[in-house]
């Protein structure tokens, strides 16, 4: 899906990682949260259909497990350095 936002720039594909829409893709203004403080034109369109409630619970549970594993890895690297890799 290719789109142009209201300010005439190519819209960009992003993925939502909020608790409400985890893993859902959307198109948005290229100025979304730009570091230069650029103004957004307000363009926003979902690409993916809504996820059912059970799917949301499963995705959030998997994300929590992944985050816990990443934190464990950081602790191990802190203790043993990169010699584990």
Instruction: Give pLDDT tens digits for 37-82.
Output: 566 788 889 998 888 999 989 999 999 999 999 999 888 888 887 7
The backbone torsions φ and ψ at residue 23, rounded to the nearest 5 degrees and listed phi first, read 80, 5
Band the pLDDT of 8: cuts 50, 70, 90. confident
The pairing of beta strand 12-15 with beta strand 44-46: unpaired
pLDDT of residue 17: 86
Q: Could you tell me how far CA 64 lies from the centroid of its own chain?
A: 14
pLDDT of residue 67: 92
Distances (CA, A) of 6 to 19, 30, 42: 28, 10, 7
């Amino acid at each position: 899906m290719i789109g142009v936002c209201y300010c005439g720039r190519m819209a960009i594909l992003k993925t939502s990682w909020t608790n409400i829409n985890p893993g859902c893709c959307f198109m948005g203004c290229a100025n979304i949260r730009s570091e230069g403080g650029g103004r957004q034109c307000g363009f926003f369109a979902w690409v993916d259909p809504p996820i059912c409630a059970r799917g949301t619970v499963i995705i959030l549970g998997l994300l929590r497990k992944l985050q816990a594993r990443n934190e464990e890895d950081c602790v191990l690297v802190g203790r043993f350095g990169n010699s584990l890799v």
